[in-house]
Each structure stands twice: as C-alpha cells, then as structure tokens.
Structure 1
Amino acid sequence: MNPIKTAFSLIFLICSSIPVWSQTTGKIIDTDQQPVEGATIVMQLPDSTYLGAAISAADGTFSLEPVADHFQLIVQHLFFQPRVVKGQTHDAGIIVLEPKEHSLAEVVVEGERPLVTVEQGKLSYDISVISKKHIVNNAYEAICKLPGVQDRNGKLSLIGAKDVTVILNGKASTLTQEQLIEMLKNTSASQVQTAEVMYNTPPEYHVRGAAINIVTAKAADNTIQSELSATYSNQYFSSYSGNVNFLLTKGRSSLNVSYNPGYSHIMTVMDLASMHQYDGQVYDIAQRQKINTKGWKHNIYAEYGYQINEDNALSVGYNGALSGNGKGTIDVNGNFQNSHNDKEQDSWLHNVFARYSSGFGLDLGVDYTDYSMNDYNHLESELTDHTRQLLDYTSDQKIRKVSVYADQSHSLVNDWTLKYGARYDYTDNRNSQLFNRAEGKDDVDNSSSRLYEQIANLYAGFDKEFANGLYLSLSATGEYYSIGNYQKWSLYPQASLSYSPSEKHTFMLGVSSEKDYPSYWDMQTSTTYMNAYEEIQTIEGLRPANVYSVNANYLFLQKYMLSLFYERIDDYFTMEMYQAKDRLALVYRTQNWNYYQSFGMSANIPFSIGSWLSSQVNATVVNDRNRCDHFWDIPFDRNKWACMLTMQNHFSVGSHLGFDLDAMYRSSMISGISDTKPVFTVNVGAQWNFLKDKASLNLNCSDLFDTMRMKVRNRYAGQHIDLNMGQYSRTVSVKLVYRFGGSITKEKKEVDSSRFGH
C-alpha cells in the first residue's frame, strides 16, 4: 500500500470525523463586516457563573468548551461597545460589535488601526489590516502586499536590499526559495498575526542582512482545528494542488500535521537570436526552445510540542519533500540545430529537528537534513550540416547536513539587554555528472567531487530602549568558514538605531554586514549541455560574497514611508551568458565579480476613498553599478539608473465580495554585460467569502495582458545576443478553502535547502 496515500487518507478521516459539536464556535465582526481580532469572549451561566473565556483570532473566530445547554456570552473589546449574547446551541454565529465613538463639539473621532508600527528597530505590519485592504488568501500573498516587497520571477525581493530571508516566529528560513513560496502559499493569511520587516536582522535570528519575520497567531488550548483547500491553475497547461492542515492542542501537548500534494505541468518558451563571431565569420543563429516539465510533489510536515512547565517547552518534528518520477522534454528548433532532450528527475528531502526553549533566556536547537537528487538526460541533436550528436548522462547530488545552535539573553540594569550565542553547521556534499554515451561531441568529461563545509558563528550584542523613544542595538558576529582548502575568519558588525519623538514621526538607521554563499552544485567544475548550442558551466573555487548595507527610513503618521539605501557586495556571484570565442557555444557561467553596488530612494504612499477603495503607491529610483575585471576576455564596469512604479488597489463590494487590481512598471536595467528591457504587468483578482466566512473562493489572473516577458539584450564588446523569456506568462487560478472552527496553524520549521540542487 502506498504510504503517502495511507497518510493522506488517515488525516482526511481524522479531519472529517472531527466532532464540531464538541465546542461552541462563532465569529466576531464589526459594522463594516470585517473580523475583529483580540476580542474577549466570556461564557457564563444565566446566573453569571463563570464557565470559560477565549480571545478572537485574526479572522475573528473563537471556540469555547460547552458545559451547559443554556449560557450567555459577554463580548468586550477596547474599541467596541460590549455586547451580551444568549445562546443554547453550539454555533454562536456571527456577532457584530458597534464601535465606540467619542464625540467632541459635534466631531466624531473614530480610531484607525495603524498599518505599521516600529518595535525595537523593526517595521511591524498588522496582517489583519493588510487582509482588510487587499485580497490575500495565503501568507505569501500577504507578504507581497507589504510596502516595498515584491515577487520577482518567483523570488521575494525587498526594495533597498539585494536579498531578503523569510523567518517564521523568529526561526531562520532553511528552505529554497521555491519550497518556501510553496509552503507560504499553503498557509492561510488568517494564521498570520504580524509581519516584521528588518533591514538589519539581529544576530539571534542567525540571519544577517534583510529579513521578514512572520509571527503566526496562537491556537487556543484544548482545540482541534483544520483546513482543507484545493487549487487549479492554468499557464498553458493545467496544474492542481491540495492542502490539509490539522492541529490538535490538549493540555500541555500539541500536534501539528500538514500534507500538501501537488501536480504541476509547466511550459517555458525562450526565443534566442545570436550573431556569433567565430573563426572570422559571423553566424546568424536563431532558435526557439520549449521546456515542458511535469510531475507530482508531496510535502509532509509533523511537529509535536510539549509544554514542560510555564517557562520551558520542547518540540520535535519531521519535514519531508518528495518529488519522484518527474518528467520533461526540451525541444529546440532553429536554423542552427534541431534537438530533443528527454529528462527524468527525482529528489528526496528528509529533515528531523528538536528545539528547547527555557524560561531564563536560553534556546537550544538541532536538526539533521538528508537530501538526494538524481537528474537523467538523453539529448539528441542534429545540426544544419547534418552532423548528429548524442549525449546520455546522469547528474547526482547527495547532501548530509547537521546544524546546532544555542542562544542566551540576560536583562541587565537600566533596561539593557545582553544577548550572545553560537551556531555550527557541518555539511557533507557529493556531486557527480557521468556520461553513459557521448557521440559526435569530443569535449565531454565526467566530473565528481566531495566537499566538506564547516561554518561556525559566535555573536554578542546589547539592546537598549530609552524612555524618550530612542532604541539602540549593537552586535558583532565572528565567523569561521572552511570548505576544501579554503579557510577564512570574518567579523560582521551591526548597528540599528530608531527614534520616535512622537507618534507622528519615526526615524530609523541601520548598518549591517553579512556573507552570501553559493549553491553546493556551483562550487564544483562541471558542464551541463542544454542543447547543441547552449551549455551551463560551473567552476571550482567560487567564493562567498561579502555584503555591506546602510538603510535609513522615515515613517510619517505610521503609514507614509520614505527610504534611502546603499548596498555593496564584494565578490558578488551570478550567472551571465557569453558567446565563446573558440567554438560555436553560448555559455552560461556563474562566477565572481569585483563587486555589485546599488543606492537609491523609495517612497510608499497608502490612501483610501471611503470604505470601498484602498490603494497603495510605491515609487523607487536606484543606481546599479556592476564591475568585473576578469569576465572572460571582456572586463566590464557599468552603471545605470532605473525606476520602478507599483500600484495596488482593493475594491470592497458589500461584506463578502472584493476585487483587486494591481499594476507594476520597471524600466530598463543592467546585469553584467546584458540589459533588460522595460516590463509592465497587470494582475486582477476576486474573492467571495461564504458559509459564515468559513469558506472562500478566489479567482485570480496574474499578468492579465501577457506582458511580463523578460527581454535581454547584449551588445557589449562584440557580443550580440537577444533573449526573449516568459511567453505564456499569464496564469489563471481558482482556489477553494474550507475551515473547521477557525484556521490557525502553528509555526512550520523550515529546512535549509537553499544551496541544494542545480
């Protein structure tokens, strides 16, 4: 019997057999039909005998254990009039609260929840406010609605930072970007309480540079909660996915289980035009490449937590990502070649972990990751001169990684806080690429490598929050890095300062440094043949990059923000294409540059019209400089100004229906010796909530006009390349979600696979 199907069936039977009558449930909303978070619900007998209490979640839902057939609920909230509701059923239904109004000289003043607050140098966004002003059905969509945060070709970006790391409940992200996005899309936005944006992440997070910390809502004790969802999407081909979340809390114990199966079928099309100079001639090469991939993927997560006492907690868990029997084809047709590549790929990721949190400031953690990948290719090519090539090869990667960490904090006199800690990572990485057959091509070689990597970090720092609105954080991290024969000691200082003289004005300044590591596959020497003309090269000796950044932010009225930023990355590494001089081959190679540098300014302006329109405009100008003195035989030093404009609009129609209309424009930019042309895109969406908001139906269309096509142009030092990527970028999706008794999921531990695969 298939164990995955058995696990899924078991979880589904558990969820479907939940005795929903075992609790009294309901939902708190305001007069605008929006959920009210943080309301206190007290259950009493008719004679006022106390029975129990609960707090409404981010989506307004609550649950109470019933102990009587007749009861009354007293609902209270700081910003609303108290209300008493009598009941005798276990479904309290929807309870509407009237806002408190303070009259002054015939002027009605109503409180408005701020979009963002500053807490200890962090920009803290209330996700319930984001959800109220935009259609967000999952955590990833909520993050993308934050000012300055965008989705760029499947990766999160933060204006003013080259890279950004997502953290869940203060735990560093250890997933690849693809796995992280998939997990966040399977997490409901109602499960998220706040999102904290940090341009200078404190060292106790074990992440340096920019980060977004997602703080999830807490589940009540002695509850069973679950959520089922199904998604259909079409981007040339159809894809399907499902999601089952199950959470049980009982006494000191909690169990969190999720299963996410998904089938994807993706078509990617690239048009290439290359005027290639070789052997005294110019070859006009034009071709169209169609990449067709499909397969199933299963994500499984399980965590057991035990509250030892009020101050000490222990948790253990498993995280798995299984992708077997993935198939694909790559077809290339043009005036230089016609080729066909049959691909098969399998990958398995298993992770086990344990955490301990004490009441005296000590946190301990350990995890072990086992990752395997097998990629098979059978490439047949016929050139226009009737020359034939056949390459049959297999690429393998096996990674074993163990990580341990310890963090400690102490409260000192005069409200100073001392923090220090350590983390150690050890990785055993094996890569190989073996050719079973190589006909018609002589310059092919087998490759294999085994790398042992060690990273040891020690940090110490101080925090202080002054009474006049000033907050100061100073820290330094020492790091020892070793891989192969390469060893290096580094010191990374960090400083954050924020000052709020009043609620209207907040000033923030941060200085940080960090290190960025290449993927394990990129740190060996190998050549992967995409077709008879294009190939991907990796070279041994790729160095980690050192990142230095400065960020300054001004926040006005807790919603208007102006940002200035500067970033320099020494030994920056990325992939760039190059027309080889010794043969007809277009080579994609990842290598180090001297540096990448950027500075600029960003402004974010939100505004509303009544209760039916909520909008946000962001404008950014940036100057990028790229320098590499050893890029093949053509060194470069280039810089360019660029701008980006985004606008997000949410239209509310009644209490259960909403529409989104978003637009983005990005001007031409540079990347090494290449230039990208301007792009423009429009996204639309609609959401309908029904069944007392326990169910929702979403319809979305990203890139409505199919204009989000990346066009790359290269005319540098005799290079002449035009690459058009992204045809069929329009995606239509439908998602149906049903929640049992509210939807609050505990934090999911993430697995460090950001450097796995190729």
Structure 2
Amino acid sequence: MKKQNFIITSLFLFWIIGTTAAQTITGKVINIHAQAIDGATVILQTIDSTFVDAVITDTTGCFRFNRQPASYRLIFQHIMYETLLLTTTGEDTGTITLKSKDYALDEVIVKGERPLVKVEEGKLSYDLSQLTTHRIVNNAYEILQQLPGVQEINGNLSLAGAHNLSIILNGRPTTMSHEQLAILLKNTPASRVEKVEVMYSTPPQYHIRGAAINLLLKVYRPEESGLQGEVNAGYLYNYRNGTQGGISLLYTTPKWNIDLLYNTHYEQNRQTTDTYSHHTLKNNVYDICQHNNIDRKGITHYVRTGAEYKFNGSAHINLAYTGIFNPNNDNHSYSDGNITTADNRTKKEAQMHNLALDYLSGFGMKAGINYTSYHSESHQQFTNKDNKKQTSEFHTTSGQIIDRWKIYVDQSHTLPREWTLNYGTSLTYASDHNTQFYHTQNGTDMSELNTDNCYNEYTYDFYVGFSKNMGERLSFSASITGEYYKTARY
C-alpha cells in the first residue's frame, strides 16, 4: 500500500537592525598584530545553523547585531583571513582574532573604491573584481573556491556553518546533479561571471532548501557589446598526464545575449603499488608479495550554448543547452604475485544532455522548464587465478538511464506601502533505471547476481510569503512552504 507523506514547514524570519540598547551582540575583529579588520563579514546563526542576520565590520573592526538568541554561532569571514566559527552566549563577544591566509604575493597596493562584500536582503553579495585580484583564477569553479568560508572536501564544495550547499546559475533551478554542475563550472571561464551571491537561508522562490551560492553570468553592457571570445589550451604533467583546450564566444546587443562554450579534456594516469609483508597466522609466517598496476585514460567533451532575447522593459526569454560526452573511458588494473593474479578491464561511455527554457515577464512572473537526460554503459572483463591455480572469469554489462524534469512558476506583486507578495510552485519528476548483468566465461551460472532496478520519484512544492524593506536598517519577511513527495511505496 502506497503511503503519501505531506510536510508543511512554516518559516518566519524576522530581523530588526535598529538603535535599541537591549538584546544586542557586539564585538571587535582584529588580526594577530592587533590591527582592526575592516570589511569582515560576520554571520549570526542559531545553534542549529539557521541564518539570522549578517553585518560588516566598520573601520575600527567593530560589529553589532540588534538581536541576541540565548545561544548562537558567529561566522567570521574575510578574503585575507581564515574563516572562524565561534559558538557562544551573551551580549559581548569580546575581541576576535583572525589568522592570515598564506598568500605569497608581491607588494600590493589596494585602493578601496567598492566594498568586497555587501549584505543585501539576507544575501552576501561579493564583488569579483576585488575577490580575484592578484590571483590565478581560470574558471567559475575556482572562483567559488576563493569565497570566504567555501572549501572543497572530497571533490564537493562546502560552506562553513551550512549542513548542505547547492549551486545555481542566474537564480534558476536546475535538474543537473552536483557533479554535473561542477563540470559545467570548471568549463566556464572566470571572465564570464559577473557576481556571486551566498545565501545561508535560501528564499523559497529559488526552490532550494538550505544554503546556496548563486552565480550571475555577465550580460549586455554598452561598453562591451559585440563579439567577445577566448581560446585556451593547457598541458598537465604530474602523476598523471593530460591536455585540454577550448573556445568561448559571447555576442551581446541591447536585445540579444548569445554564448557558445566548448572544451575538451584528455587524461591518462598510472598508479603502481608494490606490497611486501610477512603475515602470521596460527604461528605460521606467510610471505606476501603483490605488484599492482592501475591505468586510466579517457576524453571528455563539454559544450554549452544559449540565447537570451530581451523584450521591451524587463521581460526576457532564455534557452540554453548543456552537453557532456565521455565517448571512451578505459580502466585497466593488473595484479600479480604469490597470492593472486588478476586482470580487470573496464570500458565506459556516458553522455548528459540538459535543456533549460526560462521566461521572465514584465509583471513579475517567472516560469521555466528544465530537463536533464543521462545515459551510461560499461563493460567489464574480469579474470582471476589464485595461488591454488583455480581460475574465475566473467564478463559484466551495466547501464544507467536517468531522466529528470522540473517545471516552476513564480509570481511577485508590489503591494501598497512597499510590501511585496511572493508565491509560486514547482513540480519535479525523476526516473532512474539501473541494470547489471553477469555473463560467465567458464560455464558457472551467475544469473542470480543480475540486477534490474527502476524507480520514479515526484516532488511538488508551493509557497507564499510577504516581505518589506523599511530603510537600510530594518526589514521583515515571512513565508510558508508545503511539499508533497512520493517515491516507490513512500
């Protein structure tokens, strides 16, 4: 019997930044030389990582929040200093000392015409022209790694003070996976990124839970109209060898933004391990000697093309295609010694297609559809001979087909007295089909190991909320979100 699960989550976020004397949090941020740090970002969270507020230190290094949870967490971030997390209570946090990051730079003269980061409606908005000055940054992924509080752990980006992190482009939801988005960002030139917004509590109109980073790509500028392009090439030599190259084109006019990206990567590497050991079992010593080689090679093609047409006023429509192709990836591992002799060869092909259509009207409506298709197929040939001369051999074929759809509609209305009404809905559908079949080479029946699984999931959500900006030091927002989720029997 299928069950239906309906979750209603009510989120009320209030923050008042005024001049009241009670319920405040104050402190000062300095470096190891006791010098005040100007422009450091201080983020206030509850103990369960719920975003409350954010401020910027002044020229004396001081900061002030006009609200005080019973216990709370502060996150201190600055481009030139290590990120610091502090869990504490009380009104006065005292003096906070940040440690400098290890940058090997020549003498640098910085003229501050624009702030590095601004706090805008709960978002931390970073100025990339200052963030990437005097640094080698080649693509959008490396830009994210330069953000204070962002680090890469096991190939995934994380944000200090956040349980999970989502990446979005131009404020639009996508059906691409985190790994596929990472490949997209690594192939997007750094020069194409205009602005980065960090949100610890993402508003519901982005259709994302938790923290998110929004990358805004460059659009038409009168002084930079026409055709722009970049060509890149590189060679990597370390424990692995590889080559890469590509081209980036951008054409902008008052009505059109058209872009084309193409990159290709070829990598090959070898890993060698020699194992020598004396293993004792039941008072007997066994000598173990094994030599292992793992060879990998493969090529990846990445292409993205998009077109945006701007109607009169603020309305526009955008169509973009992203493709990732791995036509031939080979892995070969070989082990030889007095324990076993094994040979394992794997060939894999994969491709991903993403199509995104977005429309923004002149009356506050935003709608779009996003589709991702992923298909992979692999063949494995395995042979093993142990020290008793017993041989096992089999061949496997496996595959995966994934289809994801997302449709969303959002609406915003300006009400009297500068209130704003926001509401919207989205529907997400995903289908995942996995197969693996064993084909024996020596007459042994292995059909019981075969797998053929398919599952579908549906997610429907809706929200409604109000917001109001009451000057530079006071704002209010409230929203309610509901979600219906269904997969298999749950």
Partner of 2:475: 471
Partner of 1:447: 451
Partner of 1:207: 208
- CA contact 2:319–2:358 (8 Å) conserved in 1: yes
SS in 1 for 2:208: coil
Partner of 1:325: 328
Residues paired across the two proteins, number: 377
Per-residue deviation, 1:254: 3.0
Partner of 2:425: 422
Structure 1 distance, partners of 2:174, 2:294, is 30
Partner of 2:153: 152
Structure 2 distance, partners of 1:313, 1:168, is 16
- Of 460, 467, 472, the residue aligned with 2:464 is 460
Partner of 1:485: 489
> CA-to-partner distance for each residue in 1:328-353, whole Å, 9 max, x for gaps?
11234566433221110011222323
Per-residue deviation, 1:270: 7.8
Per-residue deviation, 1:160: 1.9
SS in 2 for 1:414: helix
Identity %: 38
Per-residue deviation, 1:250: 4.0
Structure 2 distance, partners of 1:367, 1:293, is 34
SS in 1 for 2:265: strand
TM-score (norm 2): 0.69
> CA-to-partner distance for each residue in 1:336-372, whole Å, 9 max, x for gaps?
4332211100112223232111111111101333221
- Of 249, 258, 276, the residue aligned with 1:246 is 249
SS in 2 for 1:132: coil
- Of 402, 405, 429, the residue aligned with 2:405 is 402
Pairwise CA RMSD of aligned residues?
3.2
Seen in structure 2, the aligned counterparts of structure 1 residues 439 and 111 have a Cα distance that, compared at 3 Å, is same
- Of 252, 259, 265, the residue aligned with 1:256 is 259
SS in 2 for 1:142: helix
TM-score (norm 1): 0.46
Per-residue deviation, 1:251: 5.0
Seen in structure 2, the aligned counterparts of structure 1 residues 115 and 254 have a Cα distance that, compared at 3 Å, is closer
Residue pairs, 1:299-378, within 5 angstroms = 299-332=302-335, 336-378=339-381
Per-residue deviation, 1:181: 2.7
Seen in structure 2, the aligned counterparts of structure 1 residues 423 and 452 have a Cα distance that, compared at 3 Å, is same
SS in 1 for 2:161: coil
> CA-to-partner distance for each residue in 1:707-726, whole Å, 9 max, x for gaps?
xxxxxxxxxxxxxxxxxxxx
- CA contact 1:395–1:433 (8 Å) conserved in 2: yes
Per-residue deviation, 1:435: 0.8
Residue pairs, 1:140-179, within 5 angstroms = 140-179=141-180
Partner of 1:547: none
Letter in 2 for 1:243: G
Structure 2 distance, partners of 1:419, 1:303, is 28
Partner of 2:106: none
- CA contact 1:418–1:460 (8 Å) conserved in 2: yes
Structure 2 distance, partners of 1:283, 1:425, is 57
> CA-to-partner distance for each residue in 1:446-476, whole Å, 9 max, x for gaps?
1102212211111222223232613333333
Seen in structure 2, the aligned counterparts of structure 1 residues 320 and 181 have a Cα distance that, compared at 3 Å, is same
Structure 2 distance, partners of 1:113, 1:269, is 51
Seen in structure 2, the aligned counterparts of structure 1 residues 275 and 187 have a Cα distance that, compared at 3 Å, is farther
Per-residue deviation, 1:386: 2.8
Structure 2 distance, partners of 1:273, 1:122, is 56
Structure 2, unaligned runs of 5 or more: 1-109
Structure 1 distance, partners of 2:120, 2:479, is 18
Per-residue deviation, 1:223: 0.7
Seen in structure 2, the aligned counterparts of structure 1 residues 458 and 273 have a Cα distance that, compared at 3 Å, is farther
Q: Which moved more, 1:293-302 or 1:172-181?
A: 172-181
Structure 1 distance, partners of 2:320, 2:215, is 20
Partner of 2:34: none
Per-residue deviation, 1:298: 1.1
Per-residue deviation, 1:283: 10
Partner of 1:230: 233
Seen in structure 2, the aligned counterparts of structure 1 residues 263 and 137 have a Cα distance that, compared at 3 Å, is same
- CA contact 1:390–1:440 (8 Å) conserved in 2: no
Residue pairs, 1:38-117, within 5 angstroms = 111-117=112-118
Partner of 2:124: 123
Partner of 1:514: none
Per-residue deviation, 1:183: 2.4
> CA-to-partner distance for each residue in 1:668-701, whole Å, 9 max, x for gaps?
xxxxxxxxxxxxxxxxxxxxxxxxxxxxxxxxxx
Seen in structure 2, the aligned counterparts of structure 1 residues 308 and 344 have a Cα distance that, compared at 3 Å, is same
SS in 1 for 2:449: coil
Letter in 2 for 1:459: Y
Seen in structure 2, the aligned counterparts of structure 1 residues 467 and 367 have a Cα distance that, compared at 3 Å, is closer
Seen in structure 2, the aligned counterparts of structure 1 residues 330 and 473 have a Cα distance that, compared at 3 Å, is farther
Residue pairs, 1:724-743, within 5 angstroms = none
SS in 1 for 2:136: coil
Letter in 2 for 1:321: I
Structure 2 distance, partners of 1:273, 1:471, is 67
Per-residue deviation, 1:316: 1.9
Per-residue deviation, 1:145: 1.3
Partner of 2:91: none
Per-residue deviation, 1:434: 0.6
Per-residue deviation, 1:163: 2.6
Letter in 2 for 1:114: P
Structure 1 distance, partners of 2:449, 2:265, is 36
Seen in structure 2, the aligned counterparts of structure 1 residues 173 and 147 have a Cα distance that, compared at 3 Å, is farther
Structure 1, unaligned runs of 5 or more: 1-108, 487-758
Seen in structure 2, the aligned counterparts of structure 1 residues 111 and 147 have a Cα distance that, compared at 3 Å, is closer
- CA contact 1:457–1:478 (8 Å) conserved in 2: yes
- CA contact 1:121–1:471 (8 Å) conserved in 2: no
Partner of 1:190: 191
Structure 2 distance, partners of 1:271, 1:177, is 35
Seen in structure 2, the aligned counterparts of structure 1 residues 239 and 342 have a Cα distance that, compared at 3 Å, is same
Letter in 2 for 1:298: H
Letter in 2 for 1:206: H
Structure 1 distance, partners of 2:480, 2:171, is 19
Seen in structure 2, the aligned counterparts of structure 1 residues 359 and 335 have a Cα distance that, compared at 3 Å, is farther
Seen in structure 2, the aligned counterparts of structure 1 residues 275 and 420 have a Cα distance that, compared at 3 Å, is farther
- CA contact 1:324–1:346 (8 Å) conserved in 2: yes
> CA-to-partner distance for each residue in 1:112-161, whole Å, 9 max, x for gaps?
53222211111111111111143323222221111111122322121222
- CA contact 1:149–1:159 (8 Å) conserved in 2: yes
Seen in structure 2, the aligned counterparts of structure 1 residues 260 and 138 have a Cα distance that, compared at 3 Å, is same
- CA contact 1:388–1:440 (8 Å) conserved in 2: no
Residue pairs, 1:681-696, within 5 angstroms = none
Seen in structure 2, the aligned counterparts of structure 1 residues 422 and 272 have a Cα distance that, compared at 3 Å, is farther
Partner of 2:295: 292
Letter in 2 for 1:256: D
SS in 2 for 1:162: coil
Partner of 1:219: 220
Residue pairs, 1:281-680, within 5 angstroms = 290-332=293-335, 336-437=339-440, 439=442, 445-467=449-471, 469-486=473-490
Seen in structure 2, the aligned counterparts of structure 1 residues 113 and 251 have a Cα distance that, compared at 3 Å, is closer
Seen in structure 2, the aligned counterparts of structure 1 residues 123 and 311 have a Cα distance that, compared at 3 Å, is closer
